Amino acid sequence: MMENGQRKTGKRLLRIFLLLVSSVLVVAASASVLNYLYMQASPITAEPAKVQFVLTEDSEAAGASIGTNGTYVSLNSMAGWPNATRVYQAAVGIRNFDSASRNITLAFASWSGDTDQIEFITVIVRDAVGGTQQGSPINIGTSGSSTGELIIPAGATWVVEWNIKWKAGALSTNSVSVTLQLLVKGE
Amino acid sequence: MRKKSFATLLSFVLLLVSLFIPVHGYVNNAYYCQANPVSAEPPKVILKEGIVGISTIYTNNTSAKVEIKVVERGWKVQSGTGIINSGSSFALIDIEPVNLSKAFLLVSFGGGVAATQPEEQALVSGRFESSSQLRFERVGTTNPANFAWYVIEALGEQINVQSGTTQFADTETQKDVPINDVGNISKCVVFLSRRSTGTDARQYNKAFVTGELTSTTNLRLRREGTGTTVTVEWFIVKFNEETVIQTGETVVSTSNPTIQSIAPVDLARTWLYMTWRATTNGLAQVSVRGWIENPTEIRFFRRTTTGICYVRWFVIQMPAGVKVQRGFHDSTVTTEYVKDIPISPVNTSRTFSFTTCDSTGTGRAFPRPFWIETLTNSTNLHLQRWYAGQESDHNWQVIELSDAYEYVLKIVNKSQDPWKIRLEAYNQTNIERLHNCTIYFYNETWVCRQIYILNGEYNQQTGEWCNLIGTNTIYVAVKVSTNDQGKSTIQTYLKVLRPNTSTYNLMIITFEMN
């Protein structure tokens, strides 16, 4: 009888122990151990852009206006005669001010307006006015169209040529807006 | 069990290796280029139809097609001076053979001695003795008689010529001469020369003859007064559709100048030919000069109001490309025998002249008002007489013919902006058959070659820059000869450059030569 009571007590103790162990395990599993590390960026400086848009031969004709720091350009007076191709051989330039070459990509981003009246707009990057074409021509209106990645040598100025042809039936009230993106790789 | 351990080990190794592969992060800077607006604007330089060939102008006048049917359209002018010697009534002059149905003759004469010569000595007529010989003739044989001549021959279909000899009996003042049907008299000009039997210089006026077509089959020759026999050598020249002719008869009497209105003409390619008859004898009385005063007016002038001259005039607007120089030249010195008039350079192988003059004096000191005319070189018109003593003022014209398809197209500046333009050939078909082909620009003062093909190959594919300033117009011309039949096409860009920039417009012009 006595042995029977001891056996029951032992079982109870075992159950309590297992319960305690389980509790510990549960607590251990749900608790987070956080280690705090710190990243300090200082200084984050504004530095001159290594590659910039610059004015060239046809910038005035194209109505080019370079934004502060040369990272934006607005061309606000480009036009074309219906059924004739207007070529701005150097609407704007891209200059590498760095002492090392840079990888750049000029790409079509978006357009809007009377796009159905456009026969074509093609943008070509050349190493000089009327010079060697760099990369592929950009077909405005074609998603993803770009020059491909180009390597502009240190100190070089390339020109961006615009070829614009309106359809024969275009009216003087027709216009489009075009946005290109220039990606300059690296710091 | 061993397999399981190997797999575990391999996984571990792979994990380690992957940790050493660098992860490429990119730093990109995005710039933007915004073109807004890119607009369509009315063209400031446009193309317009020509008057030769078939030109098609497309929407907005920014592209065009020119079709040319290639035929021979050249001219050949032979010229010279000669003399009928004392004792002779004629002179023969050999020329290079001509097609008599495509050639006519202009004659001027000037006497031969420094003294009065009667009609029979001084008046010289001319005709074709054969296709390779000219016959110049007078009635008398005393003293020499000088003359000058131009043989003007179309190498293509620009003209058709009938010619003949008609004599006025001493009692006749009018002759009606049957001719082959010309079809359209408004395309015809009557060129004359004559000789006379007059022996006393009192009847010069009776030797002045006019010629006109009264129908498609009748030539009417007229003079004022009878008493001499006058023989007329006539050429009826029918021009093709590219030439526009006006004709009429104007009375020149007491008004000096006498003004005659005409329909507007292009002065650059129009010349005046005239014959006249005179009612009164005398140097001033029979000497009338005429000129084109402006595009809508011709004028006549004598140094007297005595008598009447009936002037039969022909205002001949030649095809585009013909260049006419004209001027007025005073001879205020009575002793002059020679006048040399500087002209702009011409190609003498396709150039002739036609000059009229007045004269002072009312007597019979003929042939003082009669001058020969000839081009002694490319820049000089030479007038000469053999009996001085009166003044003569001259209205001269130098007509340079063209063998090109001039004015197939014109380029018009619609703005005040200055442009530079040129042609660039960018594509072609079957140019191998083109023996000689030139496409060029021209205006009133210059010519600028743009594209040149020789023996089927490009000799020049891009033209020189030409200025298109103000609201000017530049004309496009083509000169072409082929080796064989077929069709050739030359596709070109008309490049319109804004000066001081590298911005230009490309307008497509296609030349098609059949």
- What pLDDT, in 10s, does the model give residues B48-67? 998 888 999 998 999 999 99
Q: Which residue has the tokens 């025998």?
A: B337
Cα–Cα distance measured from residue B416 to residue B492, given in angstroms and rounded to the nearest whole number: 25
Tell me, what's the pLDDT at A12?
78
The predicted structure's pLDDT at residue B151: 98
Does any CB of chain B come closer than 8 Å to the CB of residue A54?
no
pLDDT score recorded for residue A4: 62
Contact between A172 and B503 using a beta-carbon 8 Å cutoff: no
Residue A121, in any domain of the structure: yes
- Give the number of A-B residue pairs with CB atoms closer than 8 Å: 171
Q: Where are the alpha helices (DSSP H) in B27-135?
A: 119-122
CA distance B449 to B389: 49
Which segments of chain A have a pLDDT < 70?
Answer: 1-5, 23-32
Task: Name the H helices within A59-156.
Answer: 59-62
Contacts of A72 in chain B (CB under 8 A): 31-34
Q: How many other CB atoms are found less than 10 A from the CB of residue B94?
A: 10
Contact at CB, B34 and A180, closer than 8 angstroms: yes
Alpha-carbon distances, residue B467 vs B46, B412, B443, B474, B493 (angstroms): 15, 12, 11, 9, 16
Q: For the domain that residue A98 is a member of, what is the CATH number? A: 2.60.40
b/e code B471-505 from CB counts within 10 Å (16+ = b):
eeebbbbbbbebeeeeebbbbbbbbbbbeebbbbb
Number of independent structural domains in chain A: 1
Cis peptide before B367 (omega within 30 of 0): yes
Q: What is the largest CA-CA distance in chain A?
A: 115
Residue A130 lies in a domain: yes
What's residue B17's pLDDT? Answer: 56
Distance CA B73, CA B107 (A): 24
Domain span holding position A124 = 51-184
A chain contacts of residue B33, beta-carbon cutoff 8 Å? 53, 72-73, 75, 92, 106, 160, 179-182
Q: Does residue A177 sit at the B interface (CB-CB below 8 Å)?
A: yes
ipTM confidence score? 0.79
Domain-located, residue A83: yes
Q: Which 3 state secondary structure label does DSSP give A47? A: coil
A38 within domain boundaries:
no
Report the alpha-carbon distance of residue B273 to residue B292 in Å, rounded.
Answer: 10
Interface mutation vs chain B, best among A72, A76, A86, most B CBs within 10 Å: A86
**pLDDT confidence of residue B113:** 95
- The answer to whether the Cβ–Cβ distance between A76 and B36 falls below 8 Å is yes
Most B CBs within 10 Å, among A69, A76, A81, to test the B interface: A81
Per DSSP, chain A holds a count of helices (H) and strands (E) of: 2, 11
Closest chain B residue by Cα to residue A60: B501
Bond before B37 cis per omega within 30 degrees: yes
116-145 in A: which are within 8 Å (CB) of B?
Answer: 117, 121, 129-130
Tokens 């008869």, residue located = B249
Task: Output phi, psi for B431, to 5 deg.
Answer: -80, -5
CB contact under 8 A, B503 and A58: yes
> CB-based contact (8 Å) between A68 and chain B?
no
**Spatial separation of the C-alpha atoms in residues B323 and B345, rounded to whole Å:** 11
DSSP assigned state of B199? S
Residue A34 lies in a domain: no
Query: Cα-atom radius of gyration of chain A, to the nearest Å?
Result: 33
Domains of chain B from N-terminus onward: 45-71+404-513 (2.60.40), 75-400 (no CATH)
For residue A132, being part of any structural domain is answered with yes
| A6 domain residue, yes or no | no
| Full DSSP string of B441-498 | EE-SS-EEEEEEEETTEEEESBPPPEEE-TT-EEEEEEEEEESSSS-EEEEEEEEEEP
Q: In chain B, which residues have pLDDT < 70?
A: 1-25
The alpha-carbon gap from A93 to the nearest alpha carbon of chain B, in Å, equals 11
CA distance B450 to chain A (A): 20
d(CA A50, CA B325): 65
Q: How far apart are CA B283 and CA B280, in angstroms?
A: 10
Report the chain A residue with the minimal C-alpha distance to residue B34: A179
B34 touches chain A (CB under 8 A): yes
